Structure 1
Amino acid sequence: MNENQRVQQVLSGNTSAFAYFVETYQDMAFTIAHRICGNVHDAEDVVQESFVKVYRNLHTFRSESKFSSWLYRIVYNTAITHSKSKLWLSSDQERSLMNVQEFSDLDTETQILDSERTETVSNVLNCMPKGEALLLTLYYLEDNPVKEIARITGLNESNVKVKLFRARQSFKELYTKYERVTTF
């Protein structure tokens, strides 16, 4: 059964069919909300509020785009509203670089393991400006194409490409500094 059929089930009164959408998309919805809000509690609130909005506005979903893009757009907008943050403004880079010092407790040999590498990437993403971390997450971890990211964030495609380029540079710089801190 495809997602459009599931939407029709919910709209025709089978409210339990909505559980599919929650189970399928709650993890990435939380990731998006957490990247924007910066803390677990607010992210959980945003995700819950977003799913309520999705349920109430399911009749407005047009099958022209992917359901996930529509849902993530709602999560994104709800998180922006909730956090009232300036998502695309650079955060205090000095503060981010100071946070890199926290990584020095990790054992260099252990970093080679995939689980440690995943943790390292997550830590570096947490030190980055929220908007950049979100774009990298959507593109690399969720495998969304630029076009879908543009739909989710409301940016145009060329703007997404530019911001992704800058985010990659920022990630590389922070990751390199992290590597230097942990090797000493």
Structure 2
Amino acid sequence: MDDTYIDSVLSGNIEAFSYFIKKYKNMAYSISLSIVKDEQYAEEVTQDAFMKAFNGLKSFNRTAQFRSWFYRIVVNESFLRLRSLKKRKTFVYIEEQSDAILEEQFEEISKDHTDKIHKVLSLLDPKESLALELFYLQELSINDVTIITGWTTANTKVILHRARKSVRQIWKTSL
């Protein structure tokens, strides 16, 4: 289905790109938020990623999935923003997201557990938070996580292991 819209955009129908925005905006925002930890910055990164994807669509390699290619752009843009914020020393970890976003991401978990999970994720290193978000919450495979993040399979497994360890530690001491 994505290929049809890619062809349409490449043939000059720029309005066809709205398909990708509708389909991927929530996940892109969620990925970005897991890295930058701030709703406003995550929205900006998501917009920037869509612009980069639109402008780079001509160079998209059709052997890959659009989803993986686009989420890789989101991850790269998120880490770029994170580095930029750290350089300016204005980066602040946000303790809470809006309830609407939490409910959407964690529908099957009770409100009490949702709050605890969010607090834990907000305390994690951005890479660990991203790995957990993609692998457990979005239920992507290790291979998909490696494609999206650009990490090796071994590195992805190590980051997931460290993230699980960090979650256990935080869960025991903070909550």
TM superposition score normalised by structure 2: 0.81
Tell me which stretches of 4 or more aligned residues in structure 1 moved more than 2 Å. 176-179
SS in 2 for 1:84: helix
CA distance in 1, matches of 2:158, 2:73: 23
Q: Identify unmatched segments of 5+ residues in structure 2.
A: 87-92, 96-108
2:63 match: 64
Give the deviation of 1:150 after TM superposition.
0.8
1:104 match: none
CA distance in 2, matches of 1:33, 1:71: 12
Task: Describe the superposition over 1:137-177 as per-residue Cα deviations: whole angstroms up to 9, x where unpaired.
Answer: 00011111111111111111111011111111111221222
Counterparts in 2 of 1:76-155, with a 5 A limit? 76-84=75-83, 114-155=110-151
Give the deviation of 1:115 after TM superposition.
2.3
1:110 match: none
Task: Describe the superposition over 1:15-66 as per-residue Cα deviations: whole angstroms up to 9, x where unpaired.
Answer: 1211111111111111121222221121111111110010011111112222
2:19 match: 20
Give the deviation of 1:116 after TM superposition.
2.2
1:170 match: 166
TM superposition score normalised by structure 1: 0.77
The code of the aligned residue for 2:111 comes to S
CA distance in 2, matches of 1:175, 1:4: 43
The number of equivalent residue pairs is 155
Q: Identify unmatched segments of 5+ residues in structure 1.
A: 88-95, 100-112, 180-184
Q: Decide which structure has the larger Cα Rg and report it.
A: 1
Tell me if 1:161 matches 2:160. Answer: no
SS in 2 for 1:59: helix
In terms of mean alpha carbon deviation, does 157-166 or 170-179 score higher? 170-179
2:45 match: 46
CA distance in 2, matches of 1:165, 1:120: 20
CA distance in 1, matches of 2:115, 2:2: 33
CA distance in 1, matches of 2:144, 2:59: 19
